[in-house]
């Protein structure tokens, strides 16, 4: 049996991601037959109201029109019947004891129970909640696992403190640090693409790859989350975790097996090979307001929860290097920004020129360019390769064309599972491949903390860029120094 507890059950993440993911897993028959979901928070709410809250959140990927209304209604009623709300304080052992008693009551006819606790709460209360849950609510007859949300600290010191505090009551084996980017379909596919296709294996190194870009952009600002964001900034919010994780999977050596520990060993190794980040290789930005066609887009500083004059970057671009034999000298350009012109996440791999000059400048033909592999993580998941091709017909004109795998064409209109669905299922199944191990976290903070300290100590002012633009000019100068144009 599975007892799944959401701490912070009244919150935003629970509503946006956790309930839809749990329901989708139930709908697809992926949850154990015997399960209960407990929402725990301070807010006063009845179980009935809790179920209504979940019902409002179920805008998940199930296509109800295809599922049929009666099926949908029946399934959701069955699901709601397993959801119970338990009000309680986060620092009161007696409230956790009451939760434990209720769970034991519901589990009494079963011989083996797995308990999963999702800490969907602000980081300031991770430790007391984890401690109380570990001390009062561990399963008596099976595994207990705890999912911890980011941010895992805000620098090396605070991250170490958090790790040590959690480790007092939970083993590393029980701790699942979530980075939801690792649950995205195309990120899961990275290892498949790299290690199961012979044509990529020999090319995946400094001899053939000129540079790699990992780009993240959102076409909305920090609206509503300014208070949280200002304490972290874009480097901690996106780069130190999501983009660095992508880079590690992209650049790591082939693991000995697909076991979680083998994969994580390779990831941590490659992060440890990264050169300290130089301030000269970093461009920072913050969005300013813009008015277009009578519509006003706010500046970051317009958010009332953001301190006046904040220098917090909402955009960063940087060049990173991996000092190992495979990647020596290859720039990895990372870029992340809020309030840009589009929402997109992708990896761009630019290859070197084909050697020889048969179709090159010597012949007065300069139209061909280098190959580029693009892995579009979202939206419209795709993998495509730009190649040079002869324009059909007489003559020898070259053109660039695309070998194109569009997921929606290749795999139909089926919506891909949300990252949280995959990750929650992995926790239930005890699969740790897609979760961050403590030494990976340590290596990630070791890389970024000196840079973050410098930015904050020197009060480096970000360059302003208009809401909805492509970001600050500084990012383009940075890229051009490495002979790169952002995709």
For the bound state, the minimum distance from the C-beta of residue 378 to ligand BG6, rounded and expressed in Å, comes to 6
Integer Cα distance of 120 and 133 in angstroms? 13
Contact residue for ligand NDP among 28, 52, 63, 122 (CB under 6 A): 122
Which of ligand BG6, ligand NDP, none sits in contact with 125, Cβ below 5 to 8 A by type?
ligand NDP
For the bound state, the minimum distance from the C-beta of residue 84 to ligand BG6, rounded and expressed in Å, comes to 29
> For ligand NDP, which is the closer residue by CB, 165 or 387?
165
- Among 346, 321, 291, residue whose Cα is nearest residue 468: 291
For the bound state, the minimum distance from the C-beta of residue 154 to ligand BG6, rounded and expressed in Å, comes to 13
Which of ligand NDP, ligand BG6, none sits in contact with 276, Cβ below 5 to 8 A by type?
none
> For ligand BG6, which is the closer residue by CB, 40 or 232?
232
For the bound state, the minimum distance from the C-beta of residue 179 to ligand BG6, rounded and expressed in Å, comes to 8
Does 120 engage in binding with ligand NDP (CB under 6 A)?
yes
Handedness of CA 83, 89, 94, 96 (dihedral sign): positive
Does 95 engage in binding with ligand BG6 (CB under 6 A)?
no
Show contacts with ligand BG6 in window 227-246 (CB under 6 A).
237
Contact residue for ligand NDP among 4, 8, 447, 462 (CB under 6 A): 8
> For ligand BG6, which is the closer residue by CB, 136 or 185?
185
What tokens appear for 332 in the block? 């990895």
For the bound state, the minimum distance from the C-beta of residue 164 to ligand NDP, rounded and expressed in Å, comes to 19
Which of ligand BG6, ligand NDP, none sits in contact with 42, Cβ below 5 to 8 A by type?
ligand NDP
Show contacts with ligand NDP in window 141-160 (CB under 6 A).
149-151
What tokens appear for 106 in the block? 């519901």
Contact residue for ligand NDP among 26, 30, 43, 326 (CB under 6 A): 43
Size of site (CB under 6 A) for ligand NDP: 20
For the bound state, the minimum distance from the C-beta of residue 123 to ligand NDP, rounded and expressed in Å, comes to 5
Integer Cα distance of 107 and 3 in angstroms? 8
Which of ligand NDP, ligand BG6, none sits in contact with 123, Cβ below 5 to 8 A by type?
ligand NDP
Does 232 engage in binding with ligand NDP (CB under 6 A)?
no
- 180 labelled catalytic: no
Active site residues: 242
Summarize as ranges the residues that interact with ligand NDP (CB under 6 A). 8, 10-14, 16, 41-43, 90, 120-125, 149-151
Summarize as ranges the residues that interact with ligand BG6 (CB under 6 A). 180, 218, 237, 345
């Amino acid at each position: 049996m599975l007892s799944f507890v959401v701490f912070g059950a009244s919150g935003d993440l629970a509503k946006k991601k956790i309930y839809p993911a749990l329901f989708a897993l139930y709908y697809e028959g992926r949850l154990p037959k015997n399960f209960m979901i407990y929402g725990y928070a301070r807010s006063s709410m009845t179980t009935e109201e809790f179920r209504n809250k979940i019902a409002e959140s179920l805008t998940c990927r199930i296509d109800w029109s295809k599922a049929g209304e009666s099926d949908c209604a029946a399934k959701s009623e069955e699901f709601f019947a397993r959801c119970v709300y338990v009000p309680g304080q986060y620092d009161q052992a007696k409230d956790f004891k009451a939760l434990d008693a209720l769970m034991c009551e519901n589990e009494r006819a079963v011989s083996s129970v797995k308990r999963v606790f999702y800490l969907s709460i602000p980081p300031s209360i991770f430790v007391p909640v984890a401690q109380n849950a570990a001390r009062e609510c561990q399963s008596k007859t099976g595994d207990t696992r705890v999912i911890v949300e980011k941010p895992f600290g805000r620098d090396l010191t605070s991250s170490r403190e958090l790790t040590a505090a959690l480790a007092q009551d939970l083993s590393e084996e029980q701790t699942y640090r979530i980075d939801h980017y690792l649950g995205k379909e195309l990120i899961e596919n990275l290892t498949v693409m790299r290690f199961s296709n012979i044509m990529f294996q020999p090319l995946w190194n400094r001899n053939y790859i000129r540079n790699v870009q990992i780009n993240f952009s959102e076409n909305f600002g920090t609206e509503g989350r300014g208070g949280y964001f200002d304490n972290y900034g874009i480097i901690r919010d996106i780069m130190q975790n999501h983009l660095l994780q992508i880079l590690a999977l992209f650049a790591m050596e082939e693991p000995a097996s697909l076991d979680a520990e083998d994969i994580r060993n390779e990831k941590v190794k490659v992060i440890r090979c990264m050169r300290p980040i130089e301030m000269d290789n970093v461009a920072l930005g913050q969005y300013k307001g813009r008015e277009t066609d009578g519509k006003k887009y706010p500046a970051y500083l317009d958010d009332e929860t953001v301190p006046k004059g904040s220098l917090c970057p909402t955009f960063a671009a940087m060049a990173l290097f991996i000092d190992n034999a495979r990647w020596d000298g290859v720039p990895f350009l990372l870029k992340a920004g809020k309030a840009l012109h589009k929402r997109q996440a992708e990896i761009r791999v630019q290859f070197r020129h084909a050697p020889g000059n048969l179709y090159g400048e010597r012949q007065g033909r300069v139209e061909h360019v280098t190959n580029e592999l693009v892995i579009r993580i979202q939206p419209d998941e795709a993998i495509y390769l730009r190649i040079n091709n002869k324009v059909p017909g007489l003559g020898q004109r070259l053109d660039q064309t695309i070998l194109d795998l569009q997921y929606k064409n290749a795999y139909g209109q089926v919506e891909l599972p949300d990252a949280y669905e995959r990750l929650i299922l992995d926790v239930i199944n005890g699969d740790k491949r897609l979760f961050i191990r403590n030494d990976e976290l340590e290596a990630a903070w070791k890389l970024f903390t000196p840079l973050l300290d410098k930015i904050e100590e020197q009060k480096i002012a970000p360059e302003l860029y208009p809401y909805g633009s492509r970001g600050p000019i500084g990012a383009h100068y940075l890229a051009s120094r490495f002979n790169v144009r952002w995709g």
